Every structure is written in structure tokens, then in C-alpha cells.
Amino acid sequence: MSLIKPVGYRNLLENTENTEKAIKLVKDMFQENLSAQLVLLRVTAPMVVLSGTGINDDLNSVERPVAFPIRDMNEQRAEVVHSLAKWKRLKLAEMQMPEGRGIYTDMNALRPDEELDNIHSLYVDQWDWEKVISREQRNISFLKQTVRRIYEAIKVTENKLYVDFPQLVPFLPEEIHFIHAQELLDLYPNKTPKERENEIVRKYGAVFVIGIGAPLSNGMPHDGRAADYDDWSTPNEEGYVGLNGDLLLWNPILGSAFEVSSMGIRVDEAALDRQLKLHGQEAKRSLYFHQKLLSGALPCTIGGGIGQSRLCMYLLRKAHIGEIQSSIWPESMRKECAEAGIVLA
């Protein structure tokens, strides 16, 4: 557990009522803009899925799900979702969604292996979205176009928030900067991935780091990614590998890069086959989701997750995600936060 306590921090919204009003404004405004920018339909999503189907997401491939038996189903086990990357793709196939349209959900998850700090909680709420694309759109150009649309939705929300709460002065740059994880390593070869992110995002304000998951020239990935949703191994037209990435904003309150979204073009049959081999997970081929994908029964898609509490925390200039959402925190963290003027819900 690590905690950043900004010196001289104060709640710009002053009280809980204003904070709750601002949270509602952000959530209403952003999802409306996201839906319009990406042509997305809101759908209802599950909080639990059956174990052993391959539908739940492994994220970095090491997180344990919250799991339990179901008495009325002969003790068959279910697990609370980590995210809905694979479920959304199945849903798009079921709905026979045409190219150019997609879905988004209010996703609620539990991640008991998170290291609790200013930006990580056991409870995760995000807009999980997925969109059908053509095989020809599986390229960096289309990925960047989509990222720019999401960034525009964030900027519009920031400006609307400023109208209603003038103390929340906008500071996002006009454009988002793109860089591949290998280029970032080449720029800062002696720094850790997190330090590299801090350097580049401090410089540009808003950055999308491409190619999260594939080994770089130092033999290590910038960060981990599961083998079966983002495509991080396909060679792209810019001479690197990977069709995914992380959207990072500079957070002046915490003095660090701040991830608001992880997203990417999803694996096709070839990329899934390759990435399962690279991770030594070829046994997953027998799972329901993986069989559907390898047989060509699922559409090509792009998708991701955008943290609801994360985005609210950023736009409301909060120092801790616990100022936005109710969760469980160590008593020592609650005490430290209170002493620093940070009131956790």
C-alpha cells in the first residue's frame, strides 16, 4: 500500500453535495458523448459469469476472481467479472451488430488482488465498450482515430464541468500525443515503465502509449496484458508490433501520469493463436470463448474500458479515488488521508 498525500491539498468542490452533483454531471455527460462519438448502444451487462468458460478477463494474467458455488445449479461455480472484454464480443455476435456500431455498459467488478492506493480500489466501475469493425480497419490509423474520438469526449465533458463548476478550470491539451512503448523505452532506457510514463505525459499532458503487452528490446513488456483480448503482437504499419494501448493524462494533483483507459483492437484468429503460444496458454483453446473466436464465429472488434471513478477523480481534481466511490480501505489509510484533508467515502 502506497499513498500520495499532496501538500496543501483541498477539495475544490468544498462539500459532499457538490461532489455528488459533479459526479452525476460527468457520468451523464461523458457517456452521452462517448456513445455519440463511437456510435454505441447501451446494454445491460452481467456482474457474474460461469467459471471455466473463458469469458472472464485475466487482465494481466495473474489476478484471482471472486468465485462462489451456485446452490440451485448443482454447485456450479461462478465468478465476479474483472472486466467484460470477451463478454462484449460474444454479445455483439449475438446481436448481429453491423460494422461501425457497438455497445457500451456500466461495468461493476471486484478485483481483490489490487494494491490499494490513491487510484486503485477493490471495486471497479467503468464504461466497458466494444465496436464491430472490418478486417481492413485492424490497423494503427483506425486505432488512433478512435482514441482521438474518446479524447474529444473527455474534453467536452471537462468544458461542460467548467461551466457548472468554474473552480474546475480545464487544463487538458488540445491534442493527444501518440508513442509506441518501444519508442518510449528508447527515449528513457534507464527508467522503469512508470517513470517513462511520467516523463512523457508530463511533457505532453495527454498521451496514448501503443503496444502494451509485447516484449520490448529489453525483453520485458511495458506492462502485462492477457493473451486473449487485446492484439499486442500483430506487426503494424509504423514498424512496431501491437494494436492496443493505454490512454494517460497528466495529473497535477498527484504529480504523475494517470491512466483513464486501456483499449485496443482485439485479437483475430491468428493473433489469438500466436498470443496463446507466447503465454504458454494453449490449453485455453478448448474454452467456449476461444473456440468461438478460433472458428471465426465472432466479429472483428475494437474496445476497451474507461474508468468511471477514475475519470471523475481526474476531472473533479480529487487526490484519492475514495473521494468518488464507496469501497473498503485499510484503517491506516483512512487515518492518513483524513490528516491530509482527504475525506474517503
Compute the distance between CA of residue 342 and CA of residue 345 in angstroms, rounded to an integer. 10
CA dist 65 and 112 (Å) reads 7
Q: CA-CA distance, 135 to 272, in Å (whole number)?
A: 15
E strand map for the chain: 40-42, 48-50, 67-70, 76-80, 102-110, 123-132, 177-180, 206-210, 244-251, 256-265, 301-307
Phi, psi at residue 249, to the nearest 5°? Answer: -120, 150
DSSP state of 235: B
- For the chain, the first-to-last Cα distance in angstroms comes to 18
Tell how far CA 316 is from the center of its chain. 19
Which residue type is seen at 107? M
Reference 271, options 298, 252, 251, 293; nearest CA is 293
User: Strand, helix or coil at 48?
Assistant: strand
Instruction: Please state, in angstroms and rounded to a whole number, the distance separating the CA atoms of residues 308 and 2.
Output: 22
Helices then strands, counting H and E runs in the chain, come out as 9, 11
Please identify every residue annotated as catalytic.
Answer: 57, 111, 126, 246, 259, 262
Q: What is the DSSP string of 167-225?
A: TS-----SS-EEEEHHHHHHHSTTS-HHHHHHHHHHHHSEEEEE--SSB-TTSSBSS--
- Name 300's Cβ contacts closer than 8 Å, sequence gap at least 6: 132, 133, 134, 135, 137, 138, 265, 266, 268
